[in-house]
Amino acid sequence: MIKLEDLHKSYKIGNSSLHVLKGINLNIKEGELIAIMGSSGSGKSTLLNIIGMLDLLDNGTYRLDNVEIKNLNETKAAKYRNKFLGFVFQSFNLINYKNAVENVSLPLYYQGIGRQERQQKAMKYLQKFGLGDWSKHLPSELSGGQKQRVAIARAMVTEPKVLLADEPTGALDSKTSHEVMNLIQEINNSGKTILVVTHEEDIAKMCKRIVKLKDGIIVEDKKIKQNLIKSNV
């Protein structure tokens, strides 16, 4: 699904340049649930941003579903993100003056889908994630776990090829963290490829594969026995 070859990325800071990714080779197959781990500054967020087409690579190749992603301008990147990728952020990033169902239907709006259909699809995902009764609530009226589930519904509503989660449990307590991870596991079990960036060991252990980054290179890449969470939502 995702194939990275010899990926390099550096940032200019004043006159000096900071080499963040120093040749990443990674092959992610369809249906994988992969945790990207590393301490801060290891380059894990940069990697996720490049995969998420929020940032451009300097050298190397990036293939998504056998299509090489290159020569991206903003408009093209926006279309790709909308079509192929779903984002889940640490701080949820819900739009605070839109209610749950409006937030979830927003990506469909940018696909040019009609209002009725948007509403239906958004409601379907909210109900699927147990938020049917909360569809008319503003983000400020939801708990952290509910907010993150709305955010996941928003990421899933376009039926993307890959779900990218940047510290999805970073702002949640351990109980709600488990609920969210349970949801992610369920989505993965239905066949979706998911990347989770985290620095928490127990969260990583709920994935099927762990990739550890240190100073811009992959230091460890192992398949693990997934720690399945019992559904208690």
The contact set with another protein (CB under 8 A) reads 49, 52, 54-55, 74-75, 78-79, 81-83, 87, 89, 91, 93, 95-98, 106-107, 109-112, 115, 154, 158
Q: Least distance from C-beta 166 to another protein, angstroms?
A: 9
Q: Least distance from C-beta 61 to another protein, angstroms?
A: 20
> In this complex, which beta carbon is closest to another protein, that of residue 98 or of residue 205?
98
Q: Least distance from C-beta 76 to another protein, angstroms?
A: 9
> In this complex, which beta carbon is closest to another protein, that of residue 91 or of residue 174?
91
Contact 1, 193 (CB under 8 A): yes
Kind plus residue range of the DSSP H or E element containing 49: helix 44-51
Contact 201, 38 (CB under 8 A): no
Q: Is 4 helix (H, G, I), strand (E, B) or coil?
A: strand
Distances (CA, A) of 190 to 24, 116, 165: 28, 26, 17
> In this complex, which beta carbon is closest to another protein, that of residue 146 or of residue 185?
146
> In this complex, which beta carbon is closest to another protein, that of residue 81 or of residue 147?
81
Q: Least distance from C-beta 86 to another protein, angstroms?
A: 9
Q: Least distance from C-beta 216 to another protein, angstroms?
A: 18
Tokens of 78: 């926006």
- Residue written as token pair 């008319």: 136
Q: Least distance from C-beta 60 to another protein, angstroms?
A: 18
Contact 185, 135 (CB under 8 A): no
> In this complex, which beta carbon is closest to another protein, that of residue 112 or of residue 191?
112
Cα separation, 61 vs 25, whole angstroms: 9
Q: Which pairs from 126-129 meet CB under 8 Å and 24+ separation?
A: 126/100, 126/101, 126/150, 126/153, 128/153, 129/153, 129/183
> In this complex, which beta carbon is closest to another protein, that of residue 81 or of residue 178?
81
